[in-house]
Copies of this chain bind each other. A is one copy, B any other.
């Protein structure tokens, strides 16, 4: 299925909301109400995003979170990286890892190539791109839409 974790999805929704309304600091409670994600989960996600440097956190009363960079600077790859670590579609796709099958393997190194191709896609899409309104679409229209996003 090649699925992202729910937390990564939550993170993207939360960041998009913050990007849209960046006039003030956002508390975890406010973000929860805006997105319908439960408070403990919002809190968990934002702690991770803060540690990764994607949001800036202020403690105490009048505190809250704000984006640390503009929506054009935050890539989908960086959001995934913050929540799940670097993209690695198989154990074998990072350069440093030695795979079990070692010398016998017919496809050695090729997962790395596929992985890099996917990372390139994910690095080319920013939070700003994720906020453009999408209509109902057919497969072909997605293709067109994507052409517009890619650089």
Interface residues in chain A, defined as those with a beta carbon under 8 Å from any beta carbon in chain B: 1-4, 6, 8-9, 12-13, 16-17, 19-20, 34-37, 76, 80, 84-92, 95, 100-101, 104-114, 116-118, 120-122, 125, 129-137, 139, 142-143, 145-146, 149-150
Beta-carbon nearest neighbor of A112 in chain B = B142
Known contacts A76-B114, A101-B35, A137-B112: A107-B143 contact under CB 8 Å: no
Chain B residues positioned under 8 Å from A16 (CB to CB) = 106-107
Smallest CB separation, A84 vs chain B (Å):
5
Contact A84 B2, beta carbon cutoff 8 Å: yes
In the assembly, what is the distance between CA of A107 and CA of B90, in Å? Answer: 28
Contact A142 B116, beta carbon cutoff 8 Å: yes
Which of A88, A113, A145 neighbours the largest number of chain B CB atoms within 10 Å of its CB?
A113
Smallest CB separation, A123 vs chain B (Å):
12
Known contacts A34-B104, A104-B36: A2-B87 contact under CB 8 Å: yes
In the complex, 22 of the A-B residue pairs with CB atoms within 8 angstroms, ordered by the A residue number, are A2-B2, A2-B4, A3-B89, A6-B91, A9-B90, A9-B91, A12-B107, A13-B105, A13-B106, A19-B106, A37-B101, A95-B136, A106-B130, A107-B131, A108-B134, A109-B137, A110-B131, A112-B142, A113-B146, A113-B149, A114-B130, A117-B150
